[in-house]
Amino acid sequence: MSDNRLIDVVLDEASLAPASVNAEHERRIALFDLKEANAFSVKGDTRGPYVLTLSMQEGRLALDVADQTGARVCLHHVAMSALRKIMKDYALICDSYHNAIRNASPSQIEAIDMGRRGLHNEAGEVLQEALAQHFEVDLETARRLFTLVCALHVRN
């Protein structure tokens, strides 16, 4: 197995907002999927695999990366400005999707879900770009991390 991966992802409990049932489900799935398969490396470092702790600090996303022994590899802060609008749009489309599941036709649900997935892909690309100077992540990893960033950002 590659060392360019995450072996654990931790969400700072103090940064988490109370979540709806749907949001909590999405968070659990993203955490599970990240632990099962991901591509993550710290540029210029070879101490992987890594443990990533995500939190919000002073309105910025904090990525605290440690090696598998717990020794800090780096702490990097990302400004949320590039993600704010897409996070708002994503939250709205997720709400529409969950509402549609209860009372829309299958074709309407499918159309909303296609839009949701497309926006999620776009958000993953934006996050990939925001992290690119310090980290290498594939699109699937970035998509799942975006889901977790949304969980953290709700409170802020």
Is there a domain that residue 43 lies in?
yes
Is there a domain that residue 16 lies in?
yes
- Is the pLDDT score of 41 beyond 90? yes
* Longest CA span, the chain: 52
Domain that holds residue 136: 6-153
User: Which pLDDT band, with edges at 50, 70 and 90, does 122 fall under?
Assistant: very high
Is there a domain that residue 133 lies in?
yes
Long-range contacts of 128-131 (CB under 8 A, 24+ apart): 129/82, 130/78, 130/79, 130/82, 130/83, 131/63, 131/76, 131/78
Q: Would you state the pLDDT for residue 36?
A: 94
Counting the structural domains of the chain, the total is 1
Is there a domain that residue 31 lies in?
yes
Q: Convert the pLDDT of each residue in 51-84 to its tens digit.
A: 999 999 998 999 999 999 999 999 999 999 989 9
- Is the pLDDT score of 154 beyond 70? no
Is there a domain that residue 1 lies in?
no
The separation between CA 12 and the C-alpha centre of its own chain, rounded to angstroms, equals 13
Q: Convert the pLDDT of each residue in 13-27 to its tens digit.
A: 888 877 778 888 889
